[in-house]
Amino acid sequence: MIVQLLIVLSGSAVVVLVSPGAARAVGDNLSGRVTAGGSAAPNVTVVASPTGSTGGPSTTTDSDGRYSIPLADGVYDIVFTPPAQSGYGVTSYTGFQLSGSAVLDVVLVPVSTSVTVSGSVVRADGSPGSYADNIGVVFDDYQGRVADGGSFAVQTSTGSHSVCLGNQSGLSPLYGGSAFLFCALNRITLDAQTPPLALSLPAAGTVNITVVDQNNNPVPAAMLTLTARGNPLPTLGANLGQTRLDYWDVRASTNTAGQATLNAFPGTFTLLVIGADLRPVTINATATAGTTNLLVRMASTIDNTPPILNLPADLTAPSNGSGGESVTYTVSATDTGSGVADAPTCQPPSGSVFPLGTTVVTCTVSDQAGNSTSSSFRITVVQANQIADVQPYLQCVSPGPNGTKTAHFGYSNPNPFTVGIPIGQQNDVSPGQTDQGQPTELQPGNHPDAFAITFTGPTLRWRLGTKTTVVTPDSPTC
C-alpha cells in the first residue's frame, strides 16, 4: 500500500506525510523523523492515542530525531512534545488514519518567546493605582510602570515568572514615601493565554516614634530610617500565595515635639535615628498589624569625660645581680563615652630592665574625643635576699570529664608589698607551656584560688622563685 504525500500545517508545526516505500516494517508501524531548525530533534516524546481517548503507546526520538511505534490499524491523535526549555512548541496531528505502516515526519517550529501581560493594581485602601504612585509590576527582569487607573502592560518572556510590586527609580509617595519590593512566593506561567492579572498592594501598620535626649527633652528634626527584610505579607493576588517583603525602606523626620509616624508591616524592623549633636541610635523592634509605639532616647555626643587607666599596684621585684631585673606588668583602660582611641602607653614600657631601687612608671591613654588621662605606679627592684620568698601551694584537685583533672593553686606573700615575678624561669608551670595563667603580680597576704589549670597527666608543677608546689596522684581532691 502506498500512502499519498501530504503537507499538513498542524498548530505551530509542519507535518510531512510520505510514502513508507521499502522502509515498511513487518506488521503495522508508525515511524518517522523529527527535526527543528534544520537539525535532528532528539528526546522528543511521541505519543499515539486512539482518537477519543487519552494515553497510548509512546516512544522518544533518538539522537538522529528518529522514532518508531508499533500500532494496530486505526485512527490516532499523534502528539510530539519537545524537551522543556527547547524553545519549540508541542505539535499534534489529530485523526491520523493508520492502515498498515506509515511514515510521519515532523518539523518543529519555535514557540513565541515574548508576551505582553496586562492587568491592574489597586492600593491598600482599595483605590486604583496611578502613574504618580511610581510603582511597577515586575516579572523577574521585566517590568512596567502602573498607569493612571491602575492599569499596566508588561512585555516579558513566556514561561515561569515571579510576580513582584515595587517602587520605580526614586521613592514612591505611597506609605508616606517609601522604597519597597513585594514578591509573591508562587511563580506563575505566562503565555499568550494569560488572563489580565488583578494585583493589590498590602496594607501596612503604623509606628508612632517619640525621640528624646538624655534629659527627656524632645529631639526635633531627627532623621528616621525604618528598614525591614523578609517579613511575610498577605497575597498580591489570586493563586499567588503569600508575599515576601524583599525590602522596605521608609524615612521621615521628627516634628517640634520629637514625634513622627512611619509605616511598617508586622514583623521585625530596624530603625536608625540621627539627631544633631547626638549620638546615632540603631534599634531593632517588632511592628504589629495595627499601631506600634516606640520611645527612642538619644545620648549627647559631647564627651568631656577622660578614660580610666587600670594600673597595677606598686611592684617589688627580686634581682640576683647588680644589673637590675626585667619586669613585666599589665595596664588597660576603659571609656564609657566615645571609647578608647589606642592602647595605653607607659614609660618605661613593660618588659624593660629596671635598675636596683625604685622607678616611677607613667602611663597615658586618650579617648576618641581627645580626652586623656595620665597616672603612675612604682616598681622597686631589690636584691633577692632582701625579699621573703613567696610560697605557692596546691589547694586541691577536682576530677573532670574524659580523664581530665583541674588543679587549684594559691600563694602566700609574707612581704608587706606586691612582689613582681614575670613569667619565665622564676615563674613557670610544667609540663606544658611556661605561661598557663599563673599570676605575676603577687599581692601581700594569703591568696587561695589564685588560678587553676586543667590537665591530663599524672603530675603538674608550679615553680615560683625558689619555691615549688607539685601535683601528684596522692594530692587532696576538692
Of 297, 324, 351, the domain-final residue: 297
Q: Is pLDDT at 301 greater than 80 in this prediction?
A: no
User: Would residue 303 count as lying in a domain?
Assistant: no
User: Which residues on neighbouring strands pair with residue 79, listed in sequence order?
Assistant: 47, 92
- Considering the domain architecture, whether residues 442 and 411 belong to the same structural domain is answered as yes
pLDDT tens per residue, range 247-265: 999 999 999 999 999 999 9
Of 297, 329, 356, which residue sits at a domain end? 297
Tell me which of 6 and 412 has the higher pLDDT: 412
Q: Within this chain, do residues 216 and 266 fall inside the same structural domain, yes or no?
A: yes
Per-residue confidence (pLDDT) for residue 11, from 0 to 100: 37
Q: Is 191 in the same domain as 124?
A: yes
- Per-residue model confidence as pLDDT tens digits over 146-166: 999 999 999 888 888 999 999
Please state, in angstroms and rounded to a whole number, the distance separating the CA atoms of residues 460 and 154: 78
- Higher pLDDT: 3 or 41? It is 41
- Per-residue pLDDT of 30-43, as tens digits, reads 999 999 988 999 99
3-class SS letters over 306-320: CCEEECCCCEEEEEC
Q: Are residues 464 and 373 in the same domain?
A: no
* 341 and 408, same domain (yes or no): no
Mean pLDDT of 266-276: 94
Same domain? For 227 and 268 the reply is yes
pLDDT surpassing 60 at residue 404 = yes
Report the alpha-carbon distance of residue 341 to residue 322 in Å, rounded: 39
- Does 463 reside within a domain? yes
Does residue 187 share a domain with residue 140? yes
- The answer to whether residues 21 and 93 belong to one domain is yes
pLDDT for res 159: 85
In this prediction, residue 17 carries a pLDDT of 39
pLDDT, tens digit (0-9, with 9 covering 90-100), for 185-231: 999 999 888 999 999 999 999 999 999 988 899 999 999 999 999 99
Q: What is the pairing mode between strands 102-108 and 29-36?
A: parallel
pLDDT at residue 307 is higher than 80: yes
Q: pLDDT-based confidence at 277, cuts 50/70/90?
A: confident
| Domain membership flag for residue 94 | yes
pLDDT of residue 13: 39
Q: Which residues pair with 17 in a beta bridge?
A: 6, 104
Whether the predicted pLDDT of 308 surpasses 90: yes
pLDDT at 2: 30
pTM, two decimal places: 0.47
pLDDT tens digit sequence for 81-107:
999 878 788 888 777 888 888 888 888
* pLDDT digits 0-9 by tens, 435-454: 999 999 999 999 999 999 99
Report if residue 220 sits inside a domain: yes
Give 282's contacts (C-beta < 8 A, 6+ positions apart): 270, 271, 272, 273
271-283 exposure pattern, b = at least 16 Cβ within 10 A, e = fewer: bebbbeebbebee
Same domain, 355 and 264: no
19 pLDDT more than 70: no
Average pLDDT over residues 62-84: 92
CATH of the domain at 242: 2.60.40.1120
Classify residue 478: in a domain, yes or no: no
C-alpha span between 167 and 258 (Å, rounded): 29
Cell triple for 197: 492579572
Neighbours of 433 (CB within 10 A): 10
- Mean pLDDT of the region 133-152: 90
Which CATH number goes with the domain that contains 66? 2.60.40.10
What's the average model confidence in pLDDT over 461-475? 93
Q: Is 80 exceeded by the pLDDT of residue 21?
A: no
Asked if residue 1 belongs to a domain, the reply is no
pLDDT given at position 177: 92
Instruction: Based on the fold, state whether residues 92 and 62 are members of the same structural domain.
Output: yes
Nearest to 475 by CA among 408, 397, 364: 397
Quickly state the pLDDT bin for 128 (edges 50, 70, 90). very high
Separation CA 193–CA 158 (nearest Å): 10
What is the mean pLDDT of the segment spanning 456-464? 93
245 with 327, same domain? no
Among 265, 297, 329, the domain-final residue is 297
User: Over the stretch 221-246, which tens digit does the pLDDT of each residue have?
Assistant: 999 999 999 999 999 999 899 999 99
Instruction: Give the CATH number of the domain where residue 155 resides.
Output: 2.60.40
In a domain, 408, yes or no: yes
**Average pLDDT rounded to a whole number, residues 374-389:** 91
The closest of 429, 388, 389 to 409, measured between CA atoms, is 429
Give the pLDDT of residue 300: 76
Print the domain residue range for 162.
Answer: 114-200
Do the beta carbons of residue 434 and residue 445 sit within 8 Å? no
For the residues 340-356, what does the mean pLDDT come to? 93
Q: Is 22 helix (H, G, I), strand (E, B) or coil?
A: helix
Q: Kindly tell me if the per-residue pLDDT of 129 is higher than 90.
A: yes
Residue 219 within any structural domain of the chain: yes
Q: Clarify whether residues 130 and 191 are in a common domain.
A: yes
Q: What is the pLDDT of residue 414?
A: 94
Amino acid at position 172, single letter: S
Percent of the chain at pLDDT above 70? 94
* Assigned C-alpha cell, 83: 524537551
Count of the separate structural domains present in the chain: 5
> Average per-residue pLDDT in the chain?
88
